[in-house]
Structure formats: structure tokens, C-alpha cells
Amino acid sequence: MNQNNTDRRYIPWIFLPTIFAILIQTAASIMALEFYIVAEMSTYKGDDYTSFMVQVINDYSTGNGVAWTSIIYAAVTASVAFGVYKKYCREGKLSWLTGKSNNLPLTICGIVLFATGMQYVTLYLMNALASSFPSWLEEYEELMESAGISNTMTPLMIVYAIILGPVCEELIFRGITFHAARKAMPVYYAILVQAIMFGAFHMNKLQGIYAFVLGLGLGYIMYLYDSLVITIIIHILFNFIGTIGSEFMPSGGDSIMSFFLCTLASLVVSYGAILLLKKTSAVVNNNTESTDI
């Protein structure tokens, strides 16, 4: 692949998918709140507007309102992104894992190791950042609570967090955004840019930083395998471990030394997984990577 051939016409498409996703997310939230306002008007007995709106927000956030909003947003965004990706990024062809791996069992092993290792990398990174910037942790916890993501997640929110969210985000960032960036700049800059957009999309400092780190790894794997399927699988597994398996994850220990050793071990596992995935990539090792992703 000739990385010197760049097309600046693709630069707007680096940003448009993120803007579109935010607009859909905002529109879905407004429509859901309007629905709850109308529903609350039929049962509310008081005459205080402030109390009325507090009740609406409470019903929306504590019930399935946030979950349904997230699911509608993800379904609409993923459908549009899938259509754009299929038509403009792959010329009507979808790329699965078939023919992408020289050794499928080892590739699967690399997928599991990378998702697990990166879950620990991001966990320890979050702990370090939260210790240094407590206000970032408060902002993150408030955002997670308002989004309905907590230790008592509803089944609908679990479906969104583990399946729909990853599919939607991979179509946007490792799909359209990476495709556009790779057309407009050398591949390693494209990996960096899509990771920056992925981090910025989360709109809070703590989650944005660890999403950026995860995005770097996912972008590189997308480059290695030329397949969204593998990044979607990794992202789903990553979120599954963080959502369902978080309570079973051991901490980094109570001392600075144990925290450092656990962080180092998670970095080694993640890097080893990257090397394993690179070794088993038929796309890179057979020099068959295309100019499209």
C-alpha cells in the first residue's frame, strides 16, 4: 500500500460520523424526555413545575428511559453507519474473518488476551488518573449514573453496553472514521486520529483517555486484519469483562509496588496479544492489505 497517496477530500468524513452520532444521541434523548413529560402530565397531581420536572427526570433516569434511548440511538446510528460503510468504504463488500488469519485458534487466543489485558490496562489507568484528579472521577461517576451504567444495570442497558454500543462505535470509528483518515493521511496517523475521535466522543476526561488508549489498539488491529468483525468481537468482549466480570476482577493491590507490577503485567499481556495478532494476520504477513479498510 502506498501511504504517500493522500486525498484531502476525505478529511470532513473523519469528523462527520462523530458529529452525526452526537446529533442522533441528542435527538433520541429529547424525544424520550418529551415522551416522559407527556406520560407524567397524565398522572401528576401537583401544581409545581419544578417538582413536576424533577419527577420526570427521576422516572426517566431510574426506569428504562435511558436504556431505551441508548438502544434507539445505537440502532439508528449503526444502521446509517453500516449503510455508509458498506457503500462508500468497501465498495459493497463486507470483510469477515475468512482468509484474514493464518492460524484462527491463535488469533482467537490473541483476541481474548488483548481484550482481557486492555481491560486491566484501562482499569489501572483510571485508578491512577482518579487518584491524581479526583474531580475527573466524580464527573465520570455522575455520567455513568445518568447513563444508567452501574452495578445494578437493567437487562436493556446490558444489551446496549455489551452488544449494541460496541457495534455502533466500531462502525463509526474503526469503520468510517478510520477509512476516511487512511485515505487522507499515512496509516499510523490515521490510527492516531481515529483514537482521538473515539476518546473525544465519550465527552469526559477519564473515560476519554482510556477510550483513546483502547482506540489505538483497536485501530492497529483493524489495520492488521482489514476486518471490522475482529474489532467488534474485541470491543464486545472488552465491555463484557468490564460490565459483567468487573466484580470478579482482582484489584491492583494495596501497595504502590503491587499496583505497579499489576499494571506492568497487564501491559505485557496486551503487547504480547498485539504481537500474536500481528503474527497470525494473513493480511499483513501475505502483503495483501488493500488501500481500503
**pLDDT tens by residue, 174-207:** 999 999 999 999 999 999 999 999 999 988 889 8
Q: Print the SS3 string covering the chain.
A: CCCCCCCHHHHHHHHHHHHHHHHHHHHHHHHHHHHHHHHHHCCCCCCCHHHHHHHHHHHHHHCCHHHHHHHHHHHHHHHHHHHHHHHHHCCCCCCCCCCCECCHHHHHHHHHHHHHHHHHHHHHHHHHHHHHCHHHHHHHHHHHHHCCCCCCCCHHHHHHHHHHHHHHHHHHHHHHHHHHHHHHCCHHHHHHHHHHHHHHHCCCHHHHHHHHHHHHHHHHHHHHHCCHHHHHHHHHHHHHHHHCCHHHCCCCCCCHHHHHHHHHHHHHHHHHHHHHHHHCEHHHHCCCCCCCC
**pLDDT tens by residue, 7-22:** 888 999 999 999 999 9
Is residue 35 a part of any domain in this protein? yes
**pLDDT tens by residue, 147-171:** 656 666 788 888 999 999 999 999 9
Is residue 292 a part of any domain in this protein? no
| Residue 1: predicted pLDDT | 41
Mean pLDDT of 61-84: 88
- Which range among 30-39, 44-53, 210-219, 237-246 shows the weakest confidence by mean pLDDT? 44-53
Domain count, the chain: 1
Is residue 237 a part of any domain in this protein? yes
Is residue 234 a part of any domain in this protein? yes
**pLDDT tens by residue, 90-115:** 765 567 777 899 999 999 999 999 99
Is residue 52 a part of any domain in this protein? yes
**Does residue 48 register a pLDDT over 90?**
no
| Residue 289: predicted pLDDT | 46
The residue range of the domain holding 134 is 8-285
**Does residue 210 register a pLDDT over 80?**
yes
Q: How confident is the model at residue 249 (pLDDT cuts 50, 70, 90)?
A: low
**Does residue 125 register a pLDDT over 50?**
yes
How many residues are recorded in the chain? 293
**pLDDT tens by residue, 252-284:** 666 788 888 888 999 999 999 999 999 999 988
Is residue 105 a part of any domain in this protein? yes
Is residue 291 a part of any domain in this protein? no
Is residue 1 a part of any domain in this protein? no
Q: Who wins on pLDDT, 152 or 81?
A: 81
